[in-house]
């Protein structure tokens, strides 16, 4: 892929927690408007990769370019204002505020909008995510699906160029996950690049055009979803386990 076409380019990322190497020389690129899925066994370093890309964790080594700009030294908030938004695996709603106010924070702080423009952004995003009927609810009263939707909507209200999703489908039923898939497909149709970590592979491949498989802090496969899922290393490290687990209920 040509350099000019990539929205995000990470080279040689290394992250350690004490003696444990969680990311080991990871190169990772996301093209403009591209949707990439990340799979891999637990402990492969998927969430850490997302944390390093979003700025929550600082890598020991490596460089992250976003839209051609070096963002390696910027904190989470600064990267969000540039256009990298993320959702958390366990939703983190602002419980004391209403759903609308949750999105307003994102539109004001993340997208830098003010007054009516911020209000409009919040309302349009609520509509896209099917959350208008919940607009005036205090976020702490929401159930799991709505918390996940809020997490997604809030990230989207920051007007991101790149959206990082961390297991947003985890804990949902298939029907509930389908609702999220439709929203994420709509987000993708707007031209927003997406990096999505998910264990539910059949949900993931409905949206992403490329799949990356990680194991023990390394990228072991990267390419079209079909090819990656047929890759021997992937089957050995990840899908074999999954198939094994599935066959035993």
Partner 1 sequence: MMAAPDMRVERWTRRAQGFVVSLLLLALVLAFGPLLFSAGITDRLSELFVYVMLAVTWNLLAGYGGLVSVGQQAFFGLGAYLAVRLSAAGVSVYPALLLAGLMTGALALAIGEVMLRLEGGEFAIGMWVVAELAHLLVNLDPLVQGETGTSLIALDAFSAAARRADTYWAAFAAMVLLLVLVFAVLRGRLGTALQAIRDDEIAAASLGVRVLATKRVVFMLAAGGAALAGALWLATAITFQPHAYFSVQWTAYMIFMTLVGGLGTFEGPVIGAVLFFTVEWLFGASGVWYLIGLGAAALGFALFAPRGLWGAFTERFPERLLPLGYHVVGARAAAAAGGGEER
Q: By CB under 8 A, which span of 30-38, 98-106, 213-221, 232-240 interacts with partner 1?
A: 98-106
172 binds partner 1 per the rule CB under 8 A: no
Q: By CB under 8 A, which span of 3-11, 13-21, 116-124, 221-229 interacts with partner 1?
A: 116-124
Q: How far apart are CA 34 and CA 13, in angstroms?
A: 21
Residue 136 corresponds to which tokens in the numbers above? 């005036």
Residues, the chain, total?
Answer: 249
Q: Residue 234 CB, nearest distance to partner 1 (Å)?
A: 30
Q: Which of 9, 15, 46, 86 binds partner 1 (CB under 8 A)?
A: 86
- Nearer to partner 1 by C-beta: 46 or 149? 149
136 binds partner 1 per the rule CB under 8 A: yes
Q: How far apart are CA 127 and CA 123, in angstroms?
A: 6
Q: How many residues bind partner 1 (CB under 8 A)?
A: 45
Residue 67 corresponds to which tokens in the numbers above? 């839209």
What is residue 75's DSSP assignment? -
Q: By CB under 8 A, which span of 17-25, 59-67, 124-132, 227-235 interacts with partner 1?
A: 124-132
Q: Point out which residues pair with 164 in neighbouring strands.
A: 86, 195
Identify residues 1-60 at the interface with partner 1 (CB under 8 A): 54, 56
Q: Point out which residues pair with 196 in neighbouring strands.
A: 37, 165
Q: Which of 38, 52, 126, 163 binds partner 1 (CB under 8 A)?
A: 126
- Nearer to partner 1 by C-beta: 91 or 217? 91
If DSSP codes are grouped into helix, strand and coil, which group holds residue 142?
Answer: coil
Residue 42 corresponds to which tokens in the numbers above? 């637990």
Identify residues 202-231 at the interface with partner 1 (CB under 8 A): none
If DSSP codes are grouped into helix, strand and coil, which group holds residue 94?
Answer: coil
If DSSP codes are grouped into helix, strand and coil, which group holds residue 57?
Answer: coil
Q: By CB under 8 A, which span of 62-70, 126-134, 195-203, 221-229 interacts with partner 1?
A: 126-134
185 binds partner 1 per the rule CB under 8 A: no
Torsion sign, CA atoms 29, 35, 37, 38: positive
- Nearer to partner 1 by C-beta: 45 or 110? 110
Q: How far apart are CA 113 and CA 124, in angstroms?
A: 14
Q: How far apart are CA 62 and CA 176, in angstroms?
A: 38
Q: Which of 11, 14, 24, 124 binds partner 1 (CB under 8 A)?
A: 124
Q: Cα angle vertex 130, ends 8, 81, to 5°?
A: 30
* 172, 180 Cβ separation under 8 angstroms: yes
Q: Which of 34, 108, 167, 198 binds partner 1 (CB under 8 A)?
A: 108
Chain residues in the site for partner 1 (CB under 8 A): 54, 56, 75-77, 80-81, 85-86, 88, 92-98, 100-102, 104-106, 108-112, 114, 119-120, 123-124, 126-128, 130, 132-133, 135-136, 154-155, 158, 179
């Amino acid at each position: 892929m040509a350099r000019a076409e990539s929205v995000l380019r990470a080279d040689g990322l290394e992250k350690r927690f004490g003696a444990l190497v969680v990311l080991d020389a990871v190169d990772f690129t996301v093209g403009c408007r591209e949707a990439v899925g990340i799979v891999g066994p637990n402990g492969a370093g998927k969430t850490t990769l997302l944390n390093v890309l979003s700025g929550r964790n600082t890598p020991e080594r490596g460089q992250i370019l976003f839209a051609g700009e070096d963002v390696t030294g910027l904190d989470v908030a600064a990267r969000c204002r540039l256009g990298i938004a993320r959702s958390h695996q366990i939703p983190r709603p602002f419980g004391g505020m209403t759903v609308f106010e949750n999105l307003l924070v994102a539109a004001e702080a993340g997208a830098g909008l003010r007054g009516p423009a911020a209000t409009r952004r919040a309302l349009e995003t609520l509509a896209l995510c099917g959350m208008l009927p919940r607009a005036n609810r205090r976020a702490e009263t929401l159930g799991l699906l709505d918390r996940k939707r809020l997490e997604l909507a809030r990230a989207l209200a920051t007007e991101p160029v790149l959206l990082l999703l961390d297991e947003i489908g985890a804990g949902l039923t298939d029907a509930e996950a389908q609702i999220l898939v439709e929203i994420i497909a709509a987000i993708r149709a707007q031209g927003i690049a997406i990096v999505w970590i998910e264990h539910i592979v059949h949900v993931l491949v409905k949206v992403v055009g490329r799949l990356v498989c990680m194991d023990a802090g390394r990228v072991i496969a990267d390419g079209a979803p079909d090819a990656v899922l047929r890759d021997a290393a992937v089957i050995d490290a990840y899908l074999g386990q999954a198939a094994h687990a599935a066959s035993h209920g």
